Structure 1
């Protein structure tokens, strides 16, 4: 049962002239470091409200939107994701948080990954879910950019839904139709100001790599994606995990890119289990656990193990 003493606050910040907000749900008696969520593209700090009941008794929950996401002046396309990672470091300093559990979702995995390269000592545990990387996301971003330039919110929404929710009838996806309707209703009714901001997001996706060279080490890490995710396919996310020392890779059964909507209770349970050091083996909603870079303390050139 959720702790009735948990208190919510929304705070506004400015990083190098770009506004952003974070939503904080304070846990009176945490059992682990704060959970900091870097929101995905086209989300905001309210997008994770549904998970309060799962997480708020274990940790303070902080949801951060990327700088400029909901301000009149979006971050320009010339700026890479190191800027967002810098904003995250600034936020943690402002909140007085030396170490956190860090969760990156979809496009939010780009600044999260960069932050882990820059500040590994500040991460207690790292979780990347639906990491959109390289060639899988750039063609999609080009399509987003086209429709947003034309101010065609209907086509933008349709394209997003087709990419995020696997429509192949031979693949089992939980709550497919309901999630498709909800996403389409939300995205295809974007306002003029929202499309301006979304366009800036799409342009940065086209112009900048999701990650920069360099291994990540020094913290437990979990990389997860949907079993049928076509935007962040399992083979690609497995390669992301291989670049993080000791990382675990897995997929969520019967889900795709928006597993946090299709199997929201299971996704929230996985996040909480990982950030509180509970076992992940044998969970019926996961396909299995792999160590693409080798188990901690083992030869990281060894083949993947279950």
Structure 2
């Protein structure tokens, strides 16, 4: 399905009963909405599941880089408004978790709870992201696949067909889309706005995450009073992929705890 936000078209998937409680998913840099496929198969019935493709990724348009985090938040906001959704639980992984924070700060009327998965209020430094952007411009995304998979997954999982497929998705991501979203991460520091949030929050981290280590995730989640934290001990940066059943169980328990799904 597609909607427009200004002059770009945004792609998303919308599954489940239209009158059911909604859970919205935002994926990681260099992936697309299919990142969630294996995991959502293990979620309970009776939920409306909306998965977004960020601008520059999947089926969404890829305008010229750079992008701002404000634009990415606006894209998510536009999809939710177009669908008439309110009181969603927003699940964001990596950059998707930054979008979750920004959307909750901007539009608390849309979001009743957030899941901040393998993310942080600030990820890396501007110089690190600038260096990565320059490298991609010079060498292409193919050169990023091996080091990215090393950050994403524990060694034993990197040889799996699933990891290979994600490597292919990364290599085929639009360069404007990847570098545009990388620039958005580089310019984002949500420590102050996130510390002002007051809503149910679950943080999820993977013990083998080389991109957003558990302590970084925990530090961000603890900015929100009353938040909870789950460490997935055999997982990396994308636990919805390398341990989808466990991830679904943790997410379901959170949804049940806040009354978003029946126990």
| Fold shared per TM-score above 0.5 | yes
Query: Quick one: distance in 1 between partners of 2:19 and 2:2?
Result: 25
Which structure's CA Rg is the greater one?
1
Indicate whether 1:202 and 2:182 are aligned.
yes
8 Å CA contact 2:97–2:117 kept in 1: the answer is: yes
- In the other structure, the counterpart of 1:64 is 52
Distance of aligned partners of 1:133 and 1:17 in 2 relative to their CA distance in 1, 3 Å threshold: same
Query: Quick one: distance in 2 between partners of 1:96 and 1:258?
Result: 29
Within the candidate set 148, 154, 175, 2:142 is matched to: 154
Distance of aligned partners of 1:73 and 1:254 in 2 relative to their CA distance in 1, 3 Å threshold: closer
Within the candidate set 217, 225, 233, 1:245 is matched to: 225
- In the other structure, the counterpart of 1:38 is 26
Q: Deviations over 1:135-173 (max 9, x none)?
A: 536566345423321243331111211222244xxxxx6
Distance of aligned partners of 1:266 and 1:44 in 2 relative to their CA distance in 1, 3 Å threshold: same
Over aligned residues, Cα RMSD in angstroms?
2.6
Within the candidate set 242, 245, 249, 1:269 is matched to: 249
Within the candidate set 120, 136, 142, 2:124 is matched to: 136
- In the other structure, the counterpart of 1:98 is 86
Structure 2 unaligned segments of length 5 or more: list them: none
How many Å apart are 1:257 and its aligned residue?
Answer: 0.8
Give secondary structure in 1 for the equivalent of 2:257: coil
Q: Which stretches of structure 1, 4 residues or more, deviate above 6 A after TM superposition?
A: none
How many Å apart are 1:65 and its aligned residue?
Answer: 1.6
- In the other structure, the counterpart of 2:208 is 228
- In the other structure, the counterpart of 1:177 is 159
How many Å apart are 1:212 and its aligned residue?
Answer: 5.3
Within the candidate set 9, 17, 20, 2:7 is matched to: 17
Within the candidate set 37, 60, 63, 1:74 is matched to: 63
Query: Quick one: distance in 1 between partners of 2:100 and 2:18?
Result: 26
How many Å apart are 1:71 and its aligned residue?
Answer: 4.8
Give secondary structure in 1 for the equivalent of 2:208: coil
8 Å CA contact 1:126–1:222 kept in 2: the answer is: yes
Tell me the TM-score normalised to structure 1 length: 0.74
Distance of aligned partners of 1:229 and 1:71 in 2 relative to their CA distance in 1, 3 Å threshold: closer
Q: Deviations over 1:278-303 (max 9, x none)?
A: 89xxxxxxxxxxxxxxxxxxxxxxxx
Give secondary structure in 1 for the equivalent of 2:33: coil
Give secondary structure in 1 for the equivalent of 2:42: helix
How many Å apart are 1:113 and its aligned residue?
Answer: 0.3
8 Å CA contact 1:148–1:196 kept in 2: the answer is: no
Query: Quick one: distance in 2 between partners of 1:146 and 1:115?
Result: 29
Within the candidate set 162, 167, 190, 1:211 is matched to: 190
8 Å CA contact 1:20–1:68 kept in 2: the answer is: no
Within the candidate set 170, 173, 185, 1:187 is matched to: 170
8 Å CA contact 1:55–1:272 kept in 2: the answer is: yes
How many Å apart are 1:211 and its aligned residue?
Answer: 2.0
Aligned residues: 256
- In the other structure, the counterpart of 1:258 is 238
Q: Deviations over 1:47-82 (max 9, x none)?
A: 3222342236130100012234345542632x4212
8 Å CA contact 2:12–2:52 kept in 1: the answer is: yes
Tell me the TM-score normalised to structure 2 length: 0.85
Distance of aligned partners of 1:213 and 1:136 in 2 relative to their CA distance in 1, 3 Å threshold: same
Indicate whether 1:49 and 2:37 are aligned.
yes
Within the candidate set 69, 79, 98, 1:110 is matched to: 98
